[in-house]
Amino acid sequence: MNYRETLEAIRRILDARPDLAVRHDLAKQVVRAFRVPAFYEMSQRCNLWCEGCYYFENKDRNARQDEQKIESWQAFFEAEQLRNVSMAYFVGAEPALEQDRLRAAAGRIPYGKIGTNGTIPIDKDIPFRIGVSVWGDKETDTQLRGGSVLKKALRNYEGDPRAIMLFTLSPWNLHTVPEVLKMCRDHGIPLTFSIFSPTQTYMEKIQAHQAPDNRFYRVAASRGAPVFDDDGLKRLKDSFYWSLDNFADTVLFSEAYADWICKPGPLYQLDEEGVATNCASRIRRPLRYHNAQLESITPKCCTPDIDCSECRLYSGGWSSKFVPEAQYLTSPTAFERWLDMLEVLGRIFLYPLPEIYQSLNQREPVRETA
């Protein structure tokens, strides 16, 4: 479906269901917030050693390079402001280790999302969404990250309106979903989900039965790859539905997204080299990626060592929903499922939320009929 056909299909749906116009306006505002997006690698260091880390468990990553002084970061973000960057993804290793750099972007870029492990509080004067990575309850946390990271993160961000927990699920921690949700609800922090997607470096070690290296490859040496098979994806989808039914006040997710992300097989169209052609996390204009030396570089995406055919990461997933695919334009009910996704997407990534969110009424989620 081309752009004009998409617009026409939307117009027909809105003619039939004018009550959806406000929600469509909201979706358009959400999409507009991402019109000039950019990734910034704020730090090459981290204070944790997580199993299968996307950043460090990458054989192509160069050794740590020299970084610029804070004055250069300030000048850099001034230039980014002049370039009208609308949405910043502050990634790491661990951005909370470089808060002066985050502060240099504050007030210069309207929206930003910081990806952090949550163990180092980010100062209140840094006005961006804070996505805190979660890997499970105390037991799985200790096994996979070397300590009770979640407990510390919840203490640091209790009631903080900037914070949202990002729980990366795998077969090793799926059973901890109820406990983690309860902990987040008790601390007043919403939660969304991602799905563990292994790097090729990690998979090569597993497939070669390599001995553990006591760095980012420890547990998989004896347990194998923590990836969902087709039956696991069904259990995962059940878990998403269960979470939406039982923790509606805490979970930021949507049934339409759950249906899509739990589909077996590759989620994206792949080119002859196996790279996703329709993933909106690809570093292509207008999206740019800047490394910690403040150079604009063009990796495949912000997690370049992940095999696109196995990828179920939340970043690529949500950002690929900006334009409704044909399946969401077949009826007003199908279109509502896309609107649900866009509303959730905005809640996950944007802080503060655009005012238009206040005009939304509480609604029941729209379920697909069999």
Q: Which residues bind ligand SF4 (CB under 6 A)?
A: 46, 48-50, 53, 55-56, 92-94, 117, 133, 268, 276, 279, 281-282, 300-301, 303, 306, 308, 311, 313, 315-316
Shortest distance in whole angstroms from residue 368 CB to ligand SF4: 24
Shortest distance in whole angstroms from residue 104 CB to ligand SF4: 21
Shortest distance in whole angstroms from residue 17 CB to ligand SF4: 33
Q: How far apart are CA 167 and CA 253, in angstroms?
A: 12
Whose Cβ is closer to ligand SF4: residue 55's or residue 193's? 55
User: Smallest Cα–Cα separation from 189: which of 155, 148, 152, 158?
Assistant: 158
Shortest distance in whole angstroms from residue 78 CB to ligand SF4: 28
Whose Cβ is closer to ligand SF4: residue 113's or residue 300's? 300
Whose Cβ is closer to ligand SF4: residue 93's or residue 114's? 93
CA-CA distances (angstroms) from residue 45 to 200, 275, 295, 368? 21, 28, 18, 44
Whose Cβ is closer to ligand SF4: residue 247's or residue 314's? 314
Whose Cβ is closer to ligand SF4: residue 96's or residue 251's? 96
Q: How far apart are CA 288 and CA 273, in angstroms?
A: 22
Burial class for 304, CB neighbours closer than 10 Å (0-12, 13-18, 19+): middle
Read off φ and ψ for residue 358, nearest 5 degrees. -70, -20
Q: How far apart are CA 111 and CA 350, in angstroms?
A: 6
CB 320 within 8 A of CB 279: yes
Shortest distance in whole angstroms from residue 229 CB to ligand SF4: 19
Q: How far apart are CA 187 and CA 194, in angstroms?
A: 20
Shortest distance in whole angstroms from residue 228 CB to ligand SF4: 15
Please list the residues that pair with 91 across neighbouring strands: 41
Whose Cβ is closer to ligand SF4: residue 173's or residue 303's? 303
